[in-house]
A and B are shown apart, each in its own frame.
Chain A
Amino acid sequence: MAHLSLTGSDPASSAAPRYDRARLAQWLIFAITAALMLAPALPILLQVFVDRPLYSDGWQFTLDNIGQLVRDERIGRIALTTGLFALFSVVIAEVLGIAAALLIGRTDMPGRKIMGDVLMWPLYLSHLIFALGWVVMYGPSGFITQSIAQQVGGGMPWNLYSIAGMSIVAGVSQAPLAYLYCLYGAVRSVDSTLESAARTVGAGPLQVLRKVTLPLMIPSIITSTALNLVIAVETLSIPLFLARPARIDTLSTFLYGEGIAASNPNHGLVAASSLLLMALVGSTLIVQRLLLRQGHRYETVKGKGTRPMTLNLGRLRWPLAAVFAVLLLATVVVPVAGIILRAFTSFLSPLVPVTQVLTLSNFAKLFADEANVRAIWNTVEISLLSASLGTLMAVAVALVIQRSDFRWSGTLEALAYSPRIVPGMITGLGVFYAAVILPPMGWLRGNIGIIVVAYVMATLPLALGVIQPAIVQIGRDLDKAARTVGADWVGAMRIVLLPLLKPALLGSFILLFVFHLKSYIIAIFLMAPGLEVMGVSMLSLWTNGDVGPLAAFASFQIVLIAVLLILARVLFKVKIYD
């Protein structure tokens, strides 16, 4: 018989391994994550209660830092400013984002596809670049401000250097996040039968949007509001560019001023205010969790592949499109165009025709400084390393959390997501402290390793956000089947999960790479000669008043990111934020 060899048993599969490889791997992943997450956080906590910088000798415990923070009369005003700024910018971002998600995702508004793409620009660019664009065009001596002042006569038509100005810039740059959450969280995934059901009981299309679709968007709105609040609290460049000139401080510019710009940084005060910042962010995220506890009430059936109905705008089609287009043009396209224009001119003013001031000297000046060239190479190198390591770590952590019976996987998940409550600047600060006081991390000092560690830590939640949903899509039977044919946990992950996760890993890599490329805030406290990165170099160009070279640098970064995203789309069919 042909299949005789199928009868009779194989000799018992190879003797049991001397050690449990799976447990070892899981503990290793847990230990690395715990070390990476706790090493930067603990020194900050320590610094709060120590009377001098951690790196100096003979420090003693004290509560004076907290006392100093509480007594500092600036703090009250700074907290109020930060609060107002955060509130206004979040309201602007959410209103824009929700409106865009409904209009672009659900109506027949002409040009909605291209407008959706333009709306995303601020997300691909850093706040730093975006703030620069607004200053160049809408600042007190900005091109558009001056043009209008000239036409109308009299004083300035508006004052960008105010809480309102900052809020608008931050609101526009965070609108894409609200848009994405509402679009994919609700508008696109709402089972259209829910809406059809409302139609059958007599609701008109607009009523359906208001009574069914909008309420179903509530979890997306809560989540994006929480994230945007966190970002508004921790953003540095927008208040630094727009508020500092008007002597307005937010928590982040205060931290920056005390910790970096001051000749003699007060580390105790910096650590104490970091703690305050973390408490703010942490409580925001806790509120979000509490609000979403009743999430099942908003559950939308997913994966049905039903095409959501498109709402006919009728006569409002073109007027709405025009309003939306003008809004995008003024708030997104003009600032970006302004940067590029400024990069190629020696001076930008409505009084002088642009053709007379065209120049390449900004680029010449930029690339003449070898620190800037080094910054570019460093950034590329650091971004490549961090994106690879970050993706690797995220997939390892995600597999333990979602696909193992590891006892501490809940703790692991909490640890892995803990960077969400640590603002980027403070991650950098913590890694800096850790490198100073923890001997094993000392070898990281003075090389790019220290920035890579900070980047990997800070963006672990971001990478998990891409990889975890992809793992959910892979049926559990697939790895169970691998176990039954003889693979241990590590083998099952390697044979089945990793190959199937390839697209998600690529997406996570590209997302992290772009994120690190444009990042400036995390590395601020880690800068050292020879360790420049693009974002921080741009920040110092701003501090030195070199707006021309800064615009040139910003244009260079815009082109770099654009090329990268287009390549990713064309070569790998990867669309980040999708």
Chain B
Amino acid sequence: MTELVLSDLSRRYGSALAIDGINLTVQEGEFLTLLGPSGCGKSTTLASIAGLDKPTGGRITFGSCVLADAATGTYLPPEARGFGVVFQSYALWPHLSVEDNVGMALRLRKVPAAERARRVSEALELVELGPFAKRYPGELSGGQQQRVALARAIVFRPPLLLLDEPLSNLDAQLRQQARVWLKDIQRELGLTTIYVTHDQDEALAMSDRIVVMRGGKVVQLGTPQEIWSAPCHPFAASFIGSANLLQVSGAAVPQAGPCEVTLSDGQVIRAHTPDARLAAGAQLLAVRPHLVSCEPRENASELRVEFGAESYLGDHFVQEAHVAGTAIRLSVERPQPRGAGRIWIRQQDAVVFAADQ
């Protein structure tokens, strides 16, 4: 098994830490996504793996090969690592035709011309761009350019494929198609893939596992289902599923399980916590907008709120509501009349975290 292992990886720019002690193991054949807002260190992490950025601390190994080790000063340049990279900007060479772009890796590896031509056309067939071999990048649409970039990154059979927000420059509809198509190719080739994105839908749809990152640190690592249904950190909850976060207070809870918290205006909510040891005092309550109900439900706490402005999003409304001085968002089928009203939150939908995270 060729595993990619990041141990205590960090990257410092001056006094700022772009990545801060990341530990991660990527299994062979896995599709792993680094997910987080801009500036969370996901692209720096990817660049460190590719060899485009030199980490200032920790080490990266691939199988038995040490790619970078800050302690010993080991640092393999990208050309010695041989990973396929798809850039956000695609980075196609504008002065070379599509087939020359794709064939460059083979040319540099001194693959004989006949075999090179065969493999280039295979790669172009795979991305459905066979007829475009003689075109130049400037003559292609954004979606086609993105596929050339993919063909260029896989034509030399890299052991690892690194994708840096490859779909972010496509329009919404194309992005949907490209998502399915990209995942199909990855599965078919069995390529170990690391994918960087800030788009939670993309991450949920494609990944075997997701790494949620913030401030250069790993916040949560798990399958899409785990990340979605059992966030273990308020940031994971708010970034994926855009949960509302409320300042609450509560008693200490010795193990994961049910608990009760109090809002600043004294209203009490029955909730649960994933934390193994929740300290007493200030805590954070996370509730997803679509899990808030405007009608009484079983095992749900009732809350008095002040309904506010709504916006129409086609299949539903998002309405603002104020509870205990904080604005929260609700996803509702029909907007509630503005002014005082009530909402219900089920115990399994109210998640409590420690406040200092």
Contact = CB atoms under 8 A, between A and B. Distances in A.
Contact of A482 (B83, B104, B109, B156): B104
Contacts of B51: 483-484
Given A7-B190, A486-B156, A499 B95 contact: yes
A485 interface: yes
B84 interface: yes
Nearest to A489: B77
Interface string A480-494: 111111111101000
Contacts of B189: 3, 6-7
Interface string B30-56: 000000000000000000001110100
Contacts of B83: 484
A8 B157 contact: yes
A383 to B, nearest CB: 29
A484 B122 contact: no
Contacts of B109: 10, 13-14, 486
A216 B82 CA distance: 48
Contacts of A483: 51-52, 77-79
Interface stretch (B147-155, B205-213, B248-256, B301-309): B147-155
Interface in B244-273: none
A294 interface: no
Contacts of A22: 77
Contacts of A487: 79, 104, 108
Nearest to A477: B91
A155 B134 CA distance: 77
A7 B108 contact: no
A483 B47 CA distance: 12
Given A13-B109, A486-B105, A477 B89 contact: yes
B119 interface: yes
Contact of A484 (B52, B90, B118): B52
B118 to A, nearest CB: 8
Contacts of B91: 475, 477-478, 480-481
B80 A13 contact: yes
Contact of A7 (B88, B105, B153, B157): B157
Nearest to B151: A6
A9 B79 contact: no
Contacts of B84: 484-485
A500 B94 contact: yes
Interface centre among A2, A6, A14, A485 (most CB of B within 10 A): A485
Nearest to B159: A9
A483 to B, nearest CB: 4
Given A480-B52, A481-B85, A486 B108 contact: yes
Nearest to A474: B94
B126 interface: yes
B317 interface: no
Interface residues of A, number: 32
B136 interface: no
B123 interface: yes
A487 B91 CA distance: 15
A3 B93 contact: no
Interface centre among A3, A6, A475, A482 (most CB of B within 10 A): A6
B79 A488 contact: yes
B115 to A, nearest CB: 9
A5 interface: yes
A484 B157 contact: no
B228 interface: no
Contacts, number: 106
B87 A477 contact: yes
Interface in B80-116: 80, 82-85, 87-95, 104-105, 108-110
Contacts of A477: 87-91
Interface in B335-350: none
B64 to A, nearest CB: 12
A390 to B, nearest CB: 24
B125 interface: yes
Contact of A3 (B52, B90, B108, B125): B125
Given A475-B89, A483-B78, A6 B108 contact: no
A488 B87 CA distance: 18
A9 B93 contact: no
Interface in A1-55: 2-3, 5-10, 12-14, 16, 22
A491 B80 CA distance: 13
Interface in A485-525: 485-489, 491, 495-496, 499-500
Contacts of A482: 93, 104
A10 B108 contact: no
Interface string A459-485: 000000000000000010110111111
A475 B94 CA distance: 11
A6 B126 contact: yes
Interface in B117-154: 118-119, 122-123, 125-126, 152-154
Given A13-B80, A486-B156, A495-B104, A5 B122 contact: yes
A486 B102 CA distance: 12
A478 B152 CA distance: 13
Interface centre among A8, A484, A500 (most CB of B within 10 A): A484
A478 B93 CA distance: 6
A486 B126 contact: no
A491 B77 CA distance: 13
Contacts of A7: 157, 189-190
Contacts of B79: 13, 483-484, 486-488, 491
A451 B118 CA distance: 53
Contacts of B94: 500
B95 A500 contact: yes
A488 B91 CA distance: 17
A485 B126 contact: no
Interface string B155-185: 1111100000000000000000000000000
17 contacts: A6-B154, A6-B157, A9-B159, A10-B156, A10-B157, A477-B88, A477-B90, A478-B91, A481-B87, A483-B52, A483-B79, A484-B84, A485-B84, A485-B153, A491-B79, A495-B93, A500-B93
Given A3-B125, A484-B85, 6 more contacts: A13-B79, A480-B52, A485-B105, A486-B156, A487-B79, A495-B93
Q: Which 5 A-B pairs have the closest CB atoms?
A: A477-B91, A485-B105, A481-B91, A483-B78, A484-B85
Interface of B: 50-52, 54, 77-80, 82-85, 87-95, 104-105, 108-110, 118-119, 122-123, 125-126, 152-159, 188-190
